[in-house]
Amino acid sequence: MNFLKILFFKFIKLNYFVYVCLFIAGCENDEQKSIKADKITREYLSTTNLPGLSISVAKKGKIVFSRGYGYADVEQKKTIDPSKTKFRIGSVSKTYAATALGILSERKILDLEEDIYKYVSSFPSKKWKFNTMQLAGHLSGIRHYKNDEMLINEDFESVYDAMEFFKYDTLLHKPGTKYHYSTHAWTLISLIIENTSKSEFLSFMNTEVFAPLKMNDTQAELQAVDNDLVKFYQFNSSRDTFEIAPKVNNSWKWAGGGFISTTEDVIRFLNAHTKPGFFKKNTLELLTTSQFTADGEKTNYGIGWRIREGRNGDILYGHTGGSVGGTTYAFWNKRTDTIVVITSNIGRARFGELPLDIFDVYRN
């Protein structure tokens, strides 16, 4: 009997020892991955000329890597903190606004396939009718930017006023027949959100999206001083360097590209969309499933979400963002349940293979 007790306790100790060893090995493995991700990022930065970069990675819902490189403000040598340094996220704002559509759809306040004039009768009539789903999938025929519209520096008091740029323009094609990317379409979407929710667009986003997801460092880029906001830069190709970007006011495109955020807040947002909870399963599928043109061509764009191929058969869900003074990459790898978010405080930055290399580090 005593022999069996001794044998039993030895077995328990052995298993405990094995568990501790495996735990330590796992921790070391996580640290090794962080070292590798940092090395890959530094190698990328050595080949390009960026003022600053923030990168955050989540694995199975947990942030496993989050670092800042370079400067939020080059002149002041102000460093970047991924938990609080805010960048222009550009068209990732569309994915944020798509969540508002999902909320209103789940509450049965908004029918995404209903003619938009049911919700915005004030919008000038067009040759063809179209719906909110087509708007959100870039199938409506509403045009994108023209000339220097990205450089608009005018303050708009309402989303209705912001439609002045395009509301009288003719549609580029019959809705549903062609994919034509349009940020202006999302300004009309923000008015639909206002009219159906009976709330101002920014107020709805703050109370129904950002607050519940604890995105405390995400908001519209208003003109008030924000000490956590980066300085914005642009490339000067003739001098092979960067300089301060022109001043712009993005109040004309809140839903399409007007929010500022931290990489860690973007992680929180994407993570909430990887499984049912904040949304029902069918709503998540609706947002992230590719739409099709009338002749059956896949657009690889759902409702505010891009769908693209990664490496080794991976499917990535998210969005990129290009702004005056900002570039963003934000995608979730469904197969590996990994999220990679990268932002820089310069327009037209080229991240190249960096995001996919980071995904590979956290593949297992």
Give per-residue pLDDT as tens, 94-143: 999 999 999 999 999 999 999 999 999 999 999 999 999 999 999 999 99
Determine the average pLDDT of the residues in 206-225.
Answer: 95
Q: Is residue 36 part of a domain?
A: no
Number of domains in the chain: 1
Residue 42: inside a domain: no
Of the listed ranges 78-92, 212-226, 289-303, the one predicted with least confidence: 212-226
Residue 179, in any domain of the structure: yes
User: For residue 75, what are the domain limits?
Assistant: 48-361
Residues 6+ apart with CB under 8 A from 210: 216, 218, 219
* pLDDT at residue 35 in the model: 98
Q: Give the domain CATH number at 74.
A: 3.40.710.10
Q: What percent of the chain shows pLDDT beyond 90?
A: 89
Give which of 288, 311, 283 is closest to 299, Cα–Cα.
Answer: 288
**What confidence tier does 240 reach under pLDDT thresholds 50, 70, 90?**
confident
pLDDT at 225: 83
Evaluate whether residue 14 is within a structural domain: no
Indicate the pTM of the whole model: 0.92
Give the C-alpha separation, 311 to 333, whole Å: 10
- Tell whether 269 is covered by a domain: yes
Whether residue 6 is predicted with pLDDT greater than 70 in this model: the reply is: no
In a domain, 19, yes or no: no
Residue 8 counted as domain residue: no
Q: What's the CA angle centered on 173, arms 168 and 174, to 5 degrees?
A: 100
Tell me whether residue 220 is in a domain: yes
Residue 120 CB contacts under 8 Å (≥ 6 apart), including other chains: 188, 191, 192, 195
CB 341 within 8 A of CB 327: no
Model pLDDT for residues 197-209, shown as the tens digit of each residue? 999 999 999 999 9
